Amino acid sequence: MIATWIYNAVMAAADAGAIAAVARKPRLTTAAAALFAVATVACALAAIHGEDNFGIIRLAAWGGFLHAPALCIGLGVVLFRSHRRAAIAFVSAAAPIEIIAINAFLIEPRRLEVTRFEIASPKLDAPLRVVLIADIQTDRVGDFERRALQRAMEERPDLIVLTGDYIQHAEMSEHERLRPQLNAMLKEVGLAAPLGVHSVNGNVDPFGWESIFDGLDARAYLNEQTVDLGPIALTALPLGESYWAGKRVAPREKFHVVIGHYPDYALGDIGADLLLAGHTHGGQVRLPFIGPILTLSAVPRSWAAGRTELGDGRTLIVSRGLGMEREYAPRLRFRVHPANSREGWRFDVMRRRWRCIMGLGSVANPLIPLFTGVTLMSQQPDDGQTLVQVTVPAWMIPHVENLNELLQAVEALPPGGDLEGLIETHLIDLNRQCYDTALRHRAWAAERQVSEPSEDFPPSGLSSMPQSAAAWANQAAPDPDAAR
């Protein structure tokens, strides 16, 4: 990446300049000033050249794990004669940084674990074993993915569920190249189970993701669906439904399992015994005494990995996932090993009356031209007529900083108000993959000459939504502030 080369070149020059300045004047005050100056340059460069938030973090990682220890060692060398104790302290500070870097970048990402949970339920007559595979999220199908899948099959599961994020790459051509490779690997390891293999999509899976399971005895759910598997019932939530913190799923008489990519749906009214999700990667970085610093989910950070008892006999299990955030993000894990989860039975926001409705058509927003998208509607309680309607790309919903705030702001906006400006203030950076996804969505619509939602809309990778918000006008959603 050009930004990485520029960042490292400038930082190397800054390191060399700081060490040279301290060599000319070997004083502690000079060393402190040099450290401050280089740190300032590092932060400014990361903020300027980072492609998005993950890009900023990647460049900051280069600064913290490469340039900071190099600078400390250099300062230790030039200060050794005049300030021996300080020099030893500088060099000693570099050692733990490098140890953490080696562990986070080279060891932990490949240190696979199988995490086991046991749940007892009177609804089951015999033990069942479930394997949850989440966030393979690779851009190179290789030995690690094969080993992880083989470990999953060694658990001899009765049921296998995959909760999305299979391949992550900025270029659609790479998705199309890697899908057959992953498909061949799934066949090679014999991915199968008596109660079936069930998969949903994640937020990095563009259209066509279900081809990964072609030729396998597996079900890829493009829409929300509940199936009877004999001893249990399983409800699969596609991406949009799992992201909705006001989601409702009706209870079942049988032991009920719900699967979705985002764990956010667990904040809703979910009538299930076991809720399975991924997405968070367990935070991917967990600091001592603090926990995960970033989960990209509305659920409490304590829910980001492992088992959470939600009450009323409901258990949420969120996998730490197998892969890592790709593209612009730094490829590391710290105190969050990749994991397959094995669950056994006896075994191992929307505010008020809002609802997302899938819509299709050209968007009249100059910020996001040519994109097809989602229509957000507000319904008046008295007559159920549309008060305000906003159409934005379907893939944008996960990229809205605070969906509740946006919906509330739109509700207060009079007809004819500045929707473009309002949406712009609620967006965070969008990446290349989002753009590619939107273009594929538009191509799909053009091929079928679709102008309105229909029974076969949306295409794979998008959640099925009601065609009208009127049915939801009198259905109150839970208070998102209370849920959060």
Residues 304-308, mean pLDDT to the nearest whole number: 90
Residues 155-174 have pLDDT tens digits of 999 999 999 999 998 888 89
Output the CA–CA distances (angstroms, integers) from residue 371 to 171, 406, 442, in the order listed: 18, 19, 7
Model confidence at 1: pLDDT above 60:
yes
Residues 456-465, mean pLDDT to the nearest whole number: 34
Cβ-in-10-Å burial (0-12, 13-18, 19+) of 456 comes to exposed
H/E element, 27:
none
Domain ranges (residues) in the chain: 2-108, 111-345, 355-483
Rounded to whole angstroms, the Cα distance separating 263 from 461 reads 18
Mean pLDDT of the chain: 76
Phi–psi pair at 203, nearest 5 degrees: -80, -5
**Between 399 and 189, where is the model more confident?**
189
Residues 449-457, mean pLDDT to the nearest whole number: 39
What dotted CATH number matches 111-345?
A: 3.60.21
In a 3-state reduction of DSSP, which class is residue 119? strand
Tell me the percentage of the chain whose pLDDT exceeds 70: 70
**How far is residue 83 CA from its own chain's centroid?**
48
Phi–psi pair at 115, nearest 5 degrees: -100, 130
Biggest distance spanned by C-alpha atoms of the chain: 83
Residues 172-188, mean pLDDT to the nearest whole number: 94
Which of 250-254, 286-290, 396-400 has the lowest average pLDDT? 396-400
What per-residue confidence (pLDDT) applies to 193?
Answer: 95
Residues 315-345 have pLDDT tens digits of 999 999 998 888 888 888 888 777 666 555 4
Which of 266-270, 353-357, 420-424 has the lowest average pLDDT? 353-357
Rounded to whole angstroms, the Cα distance separating 340 from 301 reads 20
Which of 117-121, 167-171, 384-388, 446-450 has the lowest average pLDDT? 384-388
Residue type for position 334? F
**Between 322 and 412, where is the model more confident?**
322
- Which residues does 434 contact at the CB level (< 8 Å), separation at least 6? 393, 395, 396, 399
Residues 82-139 have pLDDT tens digits of 999 999 999 999 999 999 999 989 888 888 888 889 988 999 888 899 999 999 999 9
Rounded to whole angstroms, the Cα distance separating 475 from 453 reads 22
Please name every residue paired with 259 in a beta bridge, in sequence order, or none if there are none. Answer: 236, 276
Model confidence at 363: pLDDT above 90:
no
What per-residue confidence (pLDDT) applies to 125?
Answer: 86
Residues 430-458, mean pLDDT to the nearest whole number: 43
What per-residue confidence (pLDDT) applies to 87?
Answer: 93
Residues 296-317, mean pLDDT to the nearest whole number: 90
- Identify which of 191, 181, 182, 185 has the alpha carbon closest to the alpha carbon of residue 218: 191
